[in-house]
Structure 1
Amino acid sequence: MAGSDRRPAVVVAFAALMLLAAGGGVGLLPAAEGLGVNWGTMASHPLPPRAVVQMLQDNGIKKVKLFDADAGTMEALAGSGVEVMVAIPNNLLDLLTDYDAARDWVHENVSRYSFDGGVNIKYVAVGNEPFLSSLNGTFLNVTFPALQNIQRALDDAGHGDTIKATVPLNADVYNSPKDNQVPSTGRFRSDIAGLMTEIVQFMNQTGAPFTVNIYPFLSLYSNDNFPLDFAFFDGTDSPVVDNGIQYTNVFDANFDTLVSALSAAGVGGLPIVVGEVGWPTDGDKHARADYAQRFYAGLLRKLAANAGTPLRPNQYVEVYLFSLVDEDAKSVAPGNFERHWGILRYDGQPKYAMDLSGQGRNTALAAARGIRYLPRAWCVLNPIASPDAMSRIGDNVNYACTFADCTSLGYGSTCNGMDAAGNVSYAFNAYFQVQNQVEESCGFQGLAVQTLQNPSTDACNFTIQIEPSVAGRPVALTVTAAATAVLLSVLTVMASL
């Protein structure tokens, strides 16, 4: 999900079918076998890389998937023993159709770290969901040549036996026919079927896995009639039956649709890695902490039991949870929930009890250690602002939410229940924190004032940002349709002030 402008319409192979179905540290058990996490860094104040690596170790997480090959991140992982999937962003794929460029990339980002006590690199992710329907074919002609060149460069550098190149793909690259939407009829999407067959046959030859991102949450997000229980792992009254096989959750159904597509392409035994799977906690009515906790509890039990899926039973599935921490600078084009996927908050604090071992214990994750915060100061609406200043409130809220994260104010979100003044204060404070509390960032043409009194409510947290690391700096956030909806929800109540 990180770095992708994924649209709700491309989420799960079974949206129509489901309509028919209607319906810390010390003392922790090891994480479930095969369990990893996605570590994204699209944040105004990213956590220090060494603190993140320590947090992975404290929680017994031994695998991590990245979205680039940032030197600070890689250096922090050196010597940790954590297994790494390092990544090549989509905007580099065209360059890597040239073998010399691919060789240079491998030298700089793989060989540089591959030594005793270095980084334990296992995979190179070539692109991130490059065949999304919403990308309109931008990367169709460059992804496979880049994949081939990277694997060849890994082989030539002596890494090919232990490091494999793969392509993380969204589940929209396969589907079932509209008149028979069951897993056994799964095939690769018709417009890319030939290309996908070439890619999976190449992976089969090189020993690389197929990497797929599966998001049951997005089924609910895109379809109010989707049966809620089918998104989780604790049973449903309306299972989907396929040739005598009962599917009680959309994850298994989606995964087995891919298994069928691989079989149809002649590589039925190709290993599958789930590159992203998770549940957000804010930004939508279904993005709730209790739902996330329910989803992960079921998923982790399944992984710990090596249950597999009906078409691949009794085997462990390698899974990377999405994601480790919230990222307040992600694009919200797919939805406001994009900034709230973390199993931990922006500051590395747990959101809810979560037992990574899958044994069902009511335990908290180990938090990030040694995190330093900005002073306990907030920026809020000035209660004695002049009428002239109040006439400019709309433009100022718009400005604040362009350069800071206001997604928690949207419909169905944690801060949606505040009054108009609270909404404005939230927006002003979000900007103030992103700007590291510099005095000038709490002006807003006389509308704002600093306070030492915490304006948070039981449901809505007014953030105090962490101290910026070397990589932390204010980030301009793009206003999209989803972000505009948040702004409108604030501005429509301005008249009551």
Structure 2
Amino acid sequence: MLQPRTKVAIFSLLLVLSSSFPAAEPAIGVNWGTISFHRLRPSTVVDLLQQNKIQKVKLFDADPGALKALEGSGIEVMVGIPNEMLSVLGSSSVASDLWVRQNVSSFVGKGGVAIRYVAVGNEPFLSSYAGQFQNNVMPALLNLQQSLAKANLAGYVKLVVPCNADAYEADLPSQGAFRPELTQIMTQLVSFLNSNGSPFVVNIYPFLSLYGSTDFPQDYAFFGGTTHAVTDGANVYTNAFDGNFDTLVAALTKLGYGQMPIVIGEVGWPTDGALNANLTAARAFNQGLINHVLSNRGTPLRPGVPPMDVYLFSLLDEGAKSVLPGNFERHWGIFSFDGQAKYALNLGLGNRLLKDARNVQYLPSRWCVADPSKDLSAVMNHMKLACSVADCTTLNYGGSCNGIGAKGNISYAFNSYYQLQMQNSQSCDFDGLGMVTFLDPSVGECRFLVGVTESTSAAVGTYWGGVIVWVLVMWSVWVFEV
């Protein structure tokens, strides 16, 4: 019988050989975020991925529940490391060894999880971070690469750093360059990526360009042609995605890495919470993007060479996300929080249209609404309380529930809180102003949700719970090292 160490060595050799095969056609993957009040079971989400023939998924952490559910699925996985963990991983090889052992080595192997990438941080060079994580990136990468080598996985699991598109800038794509304060670290980063056979991962959001500027041409954000084409020498750009992508290509070229493979780590369009964030626009953008990428046309600076992979943002709505960037932040999913397809979309993966999640366990079909027989003049504090806890972003200007009237707004807020409290009868009291109904109060595209039977407290706390556990573990490591 082979010893465990021998099995790992043989498995690692096979992985190295498989990773040297010629690159496949560009693949469409998804980001699976979990900052939700109503979190589906990981097994339900994996079944949803398989039903829709999605073979690549990107996680924002190394949630053991998600990884366990992905075992044996054959789905290629990118696991993430939050920015807050980079400092300790870069300063302690013991810490990086522990992280790799707990979150990579323990899951890969025959019948395990096909972890192909580790995302070291998430947009750590974002200008709004003011350099907070910048100096932690390279030390963390170097330590983690050594840890992967110790585990005989360095030839198979690739380290990447998802960057926001604000890492580079230019008036025209051909003039693209990384921000001056990032030139040195970007030179180090792309050299590291190139040496280890890793792609450059970038997040591109034409929606945010449109949202952030009244002067941005709306049709330039999509793929159906534009009356505001950008002419750059002999090249003509008819959509923001190609222009942004080629700005990165130019920036990489200036550093001597013009042929580096590029993966789109995040790209998408929200369906609610702001003007231009709706089902029609989201479908037009995502379908246009998918068709464009899978056509293999490439871009003016890379004709016939599309991105390696494209990860749509995102798989599911995340109703507990921060709305600091905008109310749309909770509505990026191609599926709603409960795994129901929002619109017709062909991912080019063998299915004509998206298939809904199966076997979702809902709470009973009942809703909390404002009692029409009561005086609602003193309801404002109750609404504020409900919306400070639950998600009411669809009620805001540009949202799908913005036009349902004052009583409708009250009912929506009451119901959002009621479902979050797992339909506890007392949570629909509101000093006698609320009442439970068995008639669905949804109006048009304004959907009054019914919660799922998952534990909400565990769902919302997953990310920070993981960070706290990691801090406690690292305190133990620090004590041990001392």
- For 1:381 and 1:474, the matched residues in 2 are separated by 27
**Uncovered stretches (5+) of structure 1, i.e. residues with no partner:** 1-30, 477-497
Q: Shift of the alpha carbon at 1:219?
A: 1.2
Question: How far apart, in 1, do the equivalents of 2:224 and 2:460 lie?
Answer: 42
Tell me how far 1:472 sits from its aligned partner. Answer: 4.7
When normalised by structure 1's length, the TM-score is 0.85
CA distance in 2 between counterparts of 1:133 and 1:439 reads 46
Measured in 2, the distance between the counterparts of 1:111 and 1:474 equals: 27
Note if 1:383 corresponds to 2:372: yes
Which one of 84, 88, 94 corresponds to residue 95 of structure 1?
A: 88
In the alignment, does 2:282 pair up with 1:292? yes
Provide Cα deviations, 1:178-212, integer angstroms capped at 9, x if missing partner.
Answer: xxx10111000112221111111111111111110
Q: Which moved more, 1:445-454 or 1:289-298?
A: 445-454
* TM-aligned CA deviation for residue 386 of structure 1: 5.1
CA contact (8 A) 1:173 1:188 kept: yes
Q: CA RMSD in A?
A: 1.8
Matched AA of 2:293: L
Q: Deviations over 1:204-224 (max 9, x none)?
A: 111111110000111111112
Equivalences for residues 177-326 of structure 1 within 5 A: 181-317=171-307, 318-326=309-317
Checking the alignment, whether the CA contact within 8 Å between 1:47 and 1:469 is kept in structure 2 is: no
Is 1:432 aligned to residue 421 of structure 2?
A: no
> Structure 1 residue 385: deviation in Å?
3.2
The structure carrying a bigger helix percent of its residues is 2
The equivalent residue for 2:144 is 150
Kept in 1, the 8 Å contact 2:387–2:417? The answer is yes
**What letter is aligned with 2:189?**
I
Change (3 A) 1:93 1:377: same
Normalised by the length of structure 2, the TM-score is 0.88
> d(CA) in 1 for partners of 2:25 and 2:282?
18
SS in 2 for 1:437: coil
Instruction: Find the counterpart in structure 1 of residue 430 from structure 2.
Output: 444
Distance 1:230 1:474, change over 3 A: closer
In 2, the alpha carbon distance for the partners of 1:195 and 1:421 equals 54
Alignment of 1:357-368 (within 5 A): 357=348, 363-368=352-357
CA distance in 1 between counterparts of 2:456 and 2:272 reads 28
- 2:100 maps to which of 103, 106, 125: 106
Match status 1:371 vs 2:360:
yes
Write out aligned runs for 1:451-470 (5 A).
451-469=437-455
**Is the CA contact 1:408–1:416 (under 8 Å) kept in the aligned structure 2?**
yes
Partner of 1:117: 111
Q: CA deviation at 1:450?
A: 1.3
Quick one: distance in 2 between partners of 1:191 and 1:41? 33
Number of corresponding residues:
437
Would you say the 8 A contact 1:106–1:154 is kept in 2? yes
SS at the partner of 2:340?
coil
- Equivalent residue, structure 1, for 2:385: 399
Instruction: Kindly indicate whether the alpha-carbon contact (under 8 Å) linking 1:303 and 1:358 is maintained by their aligned counterparts in 2.
Output: no
Distance 1:189 1:327 in 2: 31
CA contact (8 A) 1:34 1:316 kept: no
Instruction: Classify 1:426/1:474 alpha carbon distance in 2 versus 1 (closer, same or farther; 3 Å).
Output: farther
| Correspondence 1:62 to 2:38 | no
Q: 1:333 to 1:115 in 2, by over 3 A?
A: same
**Bigger Cα displacement from structure 2, 157-166 vs 263-272:** 263-272
Q: Summarize the Cα distance change of 1:323–1:68 in structure 2 as closer, same or farther, 3 Å threshold.
A: same
Give runs of aligned pairs for residues 75-86 of structure 1, distance below 5 A: 75-86=68-79
Structure 2 gaps of 5+ residues are: 1-23, 463-482
| Residue of structure 2 equivalent to 1:20 | none
Which residue identity lines up with residue 343 of structure 2 in the other structure?
Y
Partners of 1:407 and 1:273 lie apart in 2 by 31
Give the 3-state SS of the residue equivalent to 2:285 in structure 1.
helix
Contact 2:229 2:239 in 1 (8 A): yes
- Partners of 1:43 and 1:336 lie apart in 2 by 14
